Chain A
Amino acid sequence: MRPVIMEEVEALRGLNSVKIKEAHEEGKKVVGMYCMFSPSEIAIAADAIPVSLCGTTQAPIEDAEKELPRNLCPLIKSSYGFAITDKCPYFFFSDVLLAETTCDGKKKMYELMGKIKPMHLMNLPQTSEGDDALESWHKEMIKFKIYLEEVFGIEITDEKLRDAIKLMNRERSAMKRLHKLNAHKPAPLSGMDMMLAQWLKGFNVDKEYGISLIEKLIEELEERIEKGIYAFDENAPRILLTGCPIGAGSEKVLKALEDAGASVVALENCTGYKPLDVVVDEDAEKDPLLALAEKYLSTPCSCMTPNNGRFDLIKRLAEEYDVDGVVDLTWVACHTYAIESFSLKKLVQEELGLPFIQIETDYSDSDTGQVKTRVEAFLETIEVSLATV
């Protein structure tokens, strides 16, 4: 049985698209973002609403392919398709867009998207190591702050930045506490619901309401743990899902796993735990933009080289959540994650001694059967090995 609060969480989808319209009509500024490298705090300090933009469904891909190559990651195509068809309310009401130079596909797509709406591009270093990288990313934070000040005709004070940092840290901490509940054996929340709750936070127009909802969900789940009510039975194989981001409309691998009887307990992707792990330093003596630069640069994304942080995080989560297997999802044509998968496989199988599978797919339903077979076969290898322990 599903937690009662999940219905309210899910209702956020409808609610947020209405709220963004209302906010826009009231003259509130909206900053649309795609990536977790985006410092939402700076937008909040500018008294604007930071929102995630749509990019997790198949529907607009056909339109996107009129301009973009077919052999491109579905996330990029979906994002662009939504932008050119006006089907994403958040994109529609965005005053400005924030983009970053993450992967090659995204940064070149942004050149086309930037012709539709005003866009600011942050130059992301290709490494998170060393003082140079931090210094340059710090400068990018300053440039983004100045951009918003100019375009909105306002001043972003350090005090406003510190308040925004505190607000976003509270959201992160709530989300992190929620995620950690699934370290419990058995997990109280299904992976599907965890994904929805984590993914929807990006679209939250009213941050305080979102935080209070997550806190209510945590309370309900804690009660459930006490009563012994869980999402799956205790024998369900516990899976850590890593790789590319997912959201409503692109949850097929997660769904296939749980339909086949697994419990996806940890989501180590940008739509899951990854952005929650590190909070922003709230030290009142510190330059808040430097604190933001440090936090965002620590994101273990595959567009960084080297990206040892991801391997460390996976090791840590595999242990904390006591998982039985690791699934690495890579979207078609996502080169950085696809290449990293080779090293990840070695780490998971050889160092952690756990079963591993990479599943490469896109948002379409064309390979549902194959994905199902791969997922079921993977779970069979785990079940057989659990049975022999």
Chain B
Amino acid sequence: MHYIGIDIGSTAAKVSVFEEERLVTNFNMPTGWSSIEASRIILEKLEELKVSKEEARIIATGYGRVSVPYADKTLTEITCHGKGAYYLLGKDCTVIDIGGQDTKIITVENDRVTDFTMNDKCAAGTGRFLELMANSLAINLPELAELSLKGEEISITSMCTVFAESEVISLMGKGTPREDIARGVINSITGRVSTMLYKHGVKGTIYLTGGLCEISPFIELLSEKLDKEVITNPLGRYAGSIGAALMGQ
């Protein structure tokens, strides 16, 4: 019996496959323009992997969870990220998930979510913000994070993503070094997360999930800002899909 978790986020779709208790594979792809299209491609990939949906239990999560017609059940990404993080870390934790459109803080105790906070409906403080700012600087996200380590402390004062973009462009126009701007961009995210985290309250280890967990300079700067160690795991980006698969067991 296979247990499959499909986490369709606004930016990326993540899939985890368990064969009974054992995590056998994870893969991801861009969500693209349509969650339905993404879920169709996922099904093809699963067939290539010789995983039959008839002999599997499939749980869909994430913003596109309703677009997986072959899922047995849907659950929110909050529950799944919490479950997945607990599986990866093996103890109580406070999860930070910086997603494409939402940033979440999730408290996980004894393998279950006990509390969570989400950002409001604007893009400030989300992964989308970082991506757009990197675009303005004509670099990608890992490059932005790398660059920021060499930068001087400056601040991007606009919280609004649209205004922040203009601010970045005008800083470039004034000749501010790119590494300083990059540092400012990262600071505005870590600052926002730090405020959310403080208000939410920290229990146990701070654990980062989502795509940003693969960008070590970001984790370094986030730990610095929080003044607490932030732990992650190479599989952190799959926390949602792993958790979804586990919820099916």
B116 sits at the interface (CB 8 A): yes
- State whether A380 and B75 are in contact (beta carbons under 8 Å apart), knowing that A360-B120, A366-B121, A369-B63 are contacts in the complex: yes
Binary flags per residue of B202-233, CB closer than 8 Å to A gives 1, else 0: 00000000000000000000000000000000
Q: When the two chains form their complex, are residues A356 and B115 in contact, meaning their CB atoms are under 8 A apart?
A: yes
Bound: A201/B14 CA distance, A = 51
Q: Which residues of A contact B76 (CB under 8 A)?
A: 373, 376-377, 380
Q: Which residues of B contact A212 (CB under 8 A)?
A: none
B79: contacting residue among A355, A356, A367, A377, CB under 8 A: A377
B112 sits at the interface (CB 8 A): yes
Question: Which residues of B (99-121) have their CB < 8 Å from a CB of A?
Answer: 102, 110, 112-116, 118, 120-121
Q: When the two chains form their complex, are residues B113 and A367 in contact, meaning their CB atoms are under 8 A apart?
A: no
B93 sits at the interface (CB 8 A): no
- State whether A381 and B116 are in contact (beta carbons under 8 Å apart), knowing that A370-B102, A373-B76, A373-B77 are contacts in the complex: yes
A349 sits at the interface (CB 8 A): yes
B246 sits at the interface (CB 8 A): no
Q: When the two chains form their complex, are residues A381 and B79 in contact, meaning their CB atoms are under 8 A apart?
A: yes
Chain A nearest CB, measured from B72 CB (Å): 16
Q: Which residues of A contact B121 (CB under 8 A)?
A: 366-367, 370
Which residue, of B102, B110, B116, has the highest number of chain A Cβ atoms within 10 A?
B116
Q: When the two chains form their complex, are residues B79 and A349 in contact, meaning their CB atoms are under 8 A apart?
A: no
Bound: A378/B199 CA distance, A = 18
B78 sits at the interface (CB 8 A): yes
Q: Which residues of A contact B114 (CB under 8 A)?
A: 355, 381, 385
Chain A nearest CB, measured from B66 CB (Å): 10
Q: When the two chains form their complex, are residues A380 and B78 in contact, meaning their CB atoms are under 8 A apart?
A: yes
Binary flags per residue of A367-389, CB closer than 8 Å to B gives 1, else 0: 10110011011101100110010
- Chain B: interface residue total (CB-CB under 8 A): 17
Bound: A373/B119 CA distance, A = 12
Bound: A384/B107 CA distance, A = 14
- Name the prevailing secondary structure of the A interface residues: helix
Closest chain A residue, CB of each to CB of B74: A376
Q: Which residues of A contact B115 (CB under 8 A)?
A: 349, 355-356, 381
A385: contacting residue among B77, B112, B118, CB under 8 A: B112
Q: When the two chains form their complex, are residues B112 and A384 in contact, meaning their CB atoms are under 8 A apart?
A: yes
Q: Which residues of B contact A373 (CB under 8 A)?
A: 63, 76-78, 102, 118
Chain A nearest CB, measured from B103 CB (Å): 12
Bound: A377/B79 CA distance, A = 6
Chain A nearest CB, measured from B155 CB (Å): 23
Chain A nearest CB, measured from B245 CB (Å): 16
Question: Which residues of B (113-147) have their CB < 8 Å from a CB of A?
Answer: 113-116, 118, 120-121
Q: When the two chains form their complex, are residues B77 and A380 in contact, meaning their CB atoms are under 8 A apart?
A: no
Bound: A349/B112 CA distance, A = 15
Chain A nearest CB, measured from B52 CB (Å): 28
Q: Which residues of A contact B75 (CB under 8 A)?
A: 380
Q: When the two chains form their complex, are residues A370 and B113 in contact, meaning their CB atoms are under 8 A apart?
A: no
Q: Which residues of A contact B120 (CB under 8 A)?
A: 360
Bound: A378/B78 CA distance, A = 9
Chain B nearest CB, measured from A216 CB (Å): 40
Q: Which residues of A contact B116 (CB under 8 A)?
A: 357, 377-378, 381
Bound: A378/B114 CA distance, A = 9
Bound: A356/B78 CA distance, A = 15
Chain B nearest CB, measured from A345 CB (Å): 9
Q: Which residues of A contact B113 (CB under 8 A)?
A: 377, 380-381, 384
Binary flags per residue of A299-333, CB closer than 8 Å to B gives 1, else 0: 00000000000000000000000000000000000
Given contacts A367-B121, A385-B112, 9 further A-B contacts (CB under 8 A): A355-B114, A355-B115, A356-B115, A357-B116, A374-B118, A380-B79, A381-B79, A381-B113, A384-B79
On B, residues with C-beta under 8 Å from A are: 63, 75-79, 102, 110, 112-116, 118, 120-121, 199
On A, residues with C-beta under 8 Å from B are: 342, 349, 355-357, 360, 366-367, 369-370, 373-374, 376-378, 380-381, 384-385, 388
14 contacts between A and B (CB under 8 A): A360-B120, A366-B121, A370-B118, A373-B76, A373-B102, A377-B76, A377-B78, A377-B116, A380-B78, A381-B78, A381-B114, A381-B115, A381-B116, A388-B110
- Nearest 10 pairs between A and B by C-beta? A377-B78, A377-B76, A380-B79, A367-B121, A381-B113, A384-B112, A376-B76, A370-B121, A373-B76, A380-B76
